[in-house]
Amino acid sequence: MRDFTTSLIDLVLGRSCAGCDEPGLLICQDCKQALQPRIRLRRDLDVSDLMEGLRIPVICALDYRGTTRQVLYRYKDHRIRQLAIFLRPALAESITFAAHHVGIELRQALLTPLPTRRSSIRRRGFDSTAHLVQSAAPLTGTAGMRHLLADVRKHGAAKHVGAFEREQRAIDAFRVRKEGSLPTQPVILVDDIVTTGATVKEAAETLLVAGVQVVAVAAVAGTP
């Protein structure tokens, strides 16, 4: 009955699928299926310059292309917050797999979102990454979410720049927030999309230098 009611509302509001533009539904059945998690270890972040042999796994649930890319774009840049409902299962699976992969219990893990630029928050009207983490967290059984980093980048969005420029822009991009004491439990850093990995590496290193135990990165999607 709930699905019927939602579909009826979609038709009345003139909605179209965020993944394929089919009229009548916010997400059609084919696109829902395309968003089903397919967990993979995308890469390891090499942070051995901070601690010899230390590598941080990056877990992604989906490939950042096709339907996934379109839905994430509509969620963030078209400010359709309701799409978090369809993206959160993938993020929850990434978080769960990350905890199991590094051998910690989910209830021990604290989630911290990669911070979003203040200009992006103003433009979109909400913090898209934090909103998605808040939506997914109850599905995981983790210790919850806490903002540990602030974004201090002066450059604009890095969406259309190359790998080298992304890496340069990521240098000194973050600072640790001063509010409250730092957590002692394992932390999983969470992002929506991982491309080159330069940004999450800088974020992880900032936390590690401050004494935070970053054990993994979990994301909705990563570039194939």
Structure tokens at 30: 């084919």
Model pLDDT, residue 192 = 97
**Quick one: average pLDDT of 42-52?**
90
pLDDT at 212 > cutoff 90: yes
Which residue in 215, 144, 213 sits closest to 184, CA to CA? 213
Rounded CA separation 122/117 (Å): 9
Q: Which two tokens stand for residue 208?
A: 């590690």
Among the residue ranges 101-105, 177-181, 214-218, the one predicted with the least confidence is: 177-181
Average pLDDT over residues 178-185: 91
**What are the domain boundaries of the chain?**
1-34, 35-222
Lowest-confidence segment of 29-43, 117-131, 147-161 by average pLDDT: 147-161
For residue 182, pLDDT over 50 is answered with yes
Q: Which long-range contacts (CB under 8 A, 24 or more apart) does 206-210 make?
A: 206/149, 206/174, 206/175, 206/176, 207/112, 207/148, 207/149, 207/176, 208/47, 208/50, 208/51, 209/50, 210/176, 210/182
Of residues 152, 149, 106, 155, the one with CA closest to residue 129? 149
Residue 113 has pLDDT above 90, yes or no: yes
pLDDT at position 9 is: 42
Specify the range with the lowest mean pLDDT, choosing from 67-76, 122-131, 159-168, 188-197: 159-168
Lowest mean pLDDT segment, chosen from 7-21, 73-87, 95-109, 152-166: 152-166
Residue range 145-171: mean pLDDT, rounded: 66
What's the pLDDT band for 47 if we cut at 50, 70, 90? very high
Share of the chain above pLDDT 70, in %: 86
CA–CA gap between residue 186 and residue 148 (Å, rounded)? 13
Nearest-angstrom CA–CA distance, 55 and 48: 7
Q: State the pLDDT at residue 171.
A: 67
pLDDT the model gives residue 170:
55
Q: What is the pLDDT of residue 165?
A: 53
Beta bridge partners of 43: 58
Averaged pLDDT score across all residues of the chain? 88
**Helical axes 128-136 vs 84-102, angle rounded to 10°:** 70
**Is the pLDDT confidence value at 161 over 70?**
no
Say if CB 215 and CB 186 are below 8 A apart.
yes
pTM of the model: 0.86
Asked if 109 and 143 count as a contact pair (C-beta separation under 8 A), the reply is yes
